[in-house]
Structure 1
Amino acid sequence: PRAQGGDAAAMFKYALILMEGEGVPRDKVKADDYMRKAAEGGNPSAEFNWAQLLIADNPGEKGLKLALPFYEKSAEQGIADSQYAVAQIYATLKDLPEEKKQLAREWMARAARAGFDTAQLDLGIWLVNGVGGPKDYVKGFEWLKLAANGGNVAAQNKLAHLYINAIGTPPNPIEAAKWYVLSRRAGLADPSLEDFYLGIEDDQQKAAIEAANKFRRR
């Protein structure tokens, strides 16, 4: 009844029920309609989900442009997934106003500060490469290390490269090898890191493996 009465939170929950078929027959058309209404009613989670549906149903730039206003509203209400999406769209969509493009890194930082590990990874990469603003190797290293410590495998791989090349940190072959071992165990192959690992001393390999064995997510 609350969903039918226009309660945005209730409409969002009912849309999810219809999507999953929990106690009712699955009905994508009806689910999408309730999700749209919940998004238009200002529910931040519905705004994110409706934006996702718009992108899925409208490939390419058209979907991004349709979804962006809903991502923006959701991002303003603190949804980290939406903040990340806004950052990526601001950074990649060509015909946006310049003032929006300049906010891409700030939105990525907001998602990263909220604990979203993929945003932490991308913010670190952006800072190292100078995407969306000036390069800052030290801060880039710090964000990548935070994501790596949280278990993000891609960040662990990137961190190994930073330790090898002394980017944002003094060089440290044992730390580099440790992070490579962890990312390799998780299934991320990297021939250049394998060559590096095979080229270090046996005692360094042993120390790296011991450090990797002691690693616990933070």
Structure 2
Amino acid sequence: MKRIILTVITAMLLGGNLAWADDSEDAIAAYNHKDYATALKIWRQLATEGNAPAQAYIGMLHAQGQGVPQDYTTAAQWFEKAAAQGYAAAQFTLGVLYANGNGVPQNYVKARQWVEKAAIQGNAPAQYNLAQMYARGEGVPQDYVKARQWYKQAAANGDAEAQVLLGVMYLGGYGVPQDYMRAYMWYSLAAASTGDQQTHAADGQDRAARRMAPAQIAEAQRFTRQCQTKQFKGC
């Protein structure tokens, strides 16, 4: 689960439901100003009322050692409280902890179970990492077909790395029939994103293009436009 550590905090801060009470907005403002003690105080009060996002944020503080000593065991306990209420960002993060053995015994089966719960709810980092687990056989039998299915879900949610890996799968025929036009399409979609995948995507796009006739490239470009217009449905 390579990319996971870097995506945990992003998933928490950007992927979570921030539409709670004014108190939560005060906590987020305090956190952004590095006033972790104030943020923790507010989140603790919300957490005692059963607020799952607040429970997850407390877990984040403990995992990062912000305002409290770094303690993955305590972090895992808070993430589990939020995850048990169905909070996708916490489910994904708890899966991360199980995958890496932080605060809990390393267990890829439990990691996959929690990551899958978040993926089913549409959490793109979880969808990407679940695809990785299927591709590598971590916590599940290796299954390129299921890996492709979850990469497609993540790709449809705008995950450029998933789009690149779909290009890889179609270019090499991993879990799918080899299809240079589909490979070109997925690489093109990733190349159009703003992020660290642009160079990889452009290189893949060139590799696919070298295996295609001009008419096929034109058709692949049409596929790409259609996919964007249909918001990834049927891609």
Shorter-chain TM-score bucket reads 0.7 to 0.9
2:95 and 2:113 map into 1 onto residues whose CA distance is 8
* CA pair 19-139 structure 1, distance change in 2 beyond 3 A: closer
Structure 1 residue aligned with 2:217, among 186, 190, 205? 205
Structure 1 residue aligned with 2:140, among 126, 133, 141? 133
2:176 alignment partner AA:
T
Q: Given that residues 129 and 135 in structure 1 are in contact (C-alpha distance below 8 angstroms), is that contact kept between their aligned partners in structure 2?
A: yes
Structure 2 residue aligned with 1:46, among 38, 54, 58? 54
Deviation (angstroms), 1:119: 0.9
Structure 1 residue aligned with 2:151, among 144, 155, 167? 144
Which residue is equivalent to 1:156?
163
* CA pair 200-101 structure 1, distance change in 2 beyond 3 A: closer
Q: Given that residues 169 and 176 in structure 2 are in contact (C-alpha distance below 8 angstroms), is that contact kept between their aligned partners in structure 1?
A: yes
Which residue is equivalent to 1:173?
180
* CA pair 30-58 structure 1, distance change in 2 beyond 3 A: closer
1:196 and 1:27 map into 2 onto residues whose CA distance is 49
Structure 2: 5+ residue stretches without partners:
1-19
Q: Secondary structure at the match of 1:189?
A: helix
Q: Does 1:14 align with 2:23?
A: yes
Given the two structures, how large is their TM-score scaled by the length of structure 1? Answer: 0.82
Residues paired across the two proteins, number: 203
* Structure of higher CA gyration radius: 1
Given the two structures, how large is their TM-score scaled by the length of structure 2? Answer: 0.76
Which residue is equivalent to 1:193?
204
1:144 and 1:150 map into 2 onto residues whose CA distance is 10
Which residue is equivalent to 2:97?
89
2:162 alignment partner AA:
A
* CA pair 136-51 structure 1, distance change in 2 beyond 3 A: same
C-alpha root-mean-square deviation of aligned residues, in Å?
2.8
Deviation track 1:75-133 (CA, whole Å, cap 9, x = no partner) reads 110000001001111001267336x5431101111111011111111111110111222
* CA pair 115-145 structure 1, distance change in 2 beyond 3 A: same
Deviation (angstroms), 1:200: 2.3
* CA pair 173-103 structure 1, distance change in 2 beyond 3 A: same
Deviation track 1:134-155 (CA, whole Å, cap 9, x = no partner) reads 2011111111112222322111
* CA pair 131-32 structure 1, distance change in 2 beyond 3 A: same
2:23 alignment partner AA:
Y
1:89 and 1:35 map into 2 onto residues whose CA distance is 21
Comparing both chains, which one has the higher relative contact order based on Cα–Cα distances under 8 Å and sequence gaps of 6 or more?
2
Structure 1: 5+ residue stretches without partners:
1-10
Deviation (angstroms), 1:28: 4.7
1:207 alignment partner AA:
E
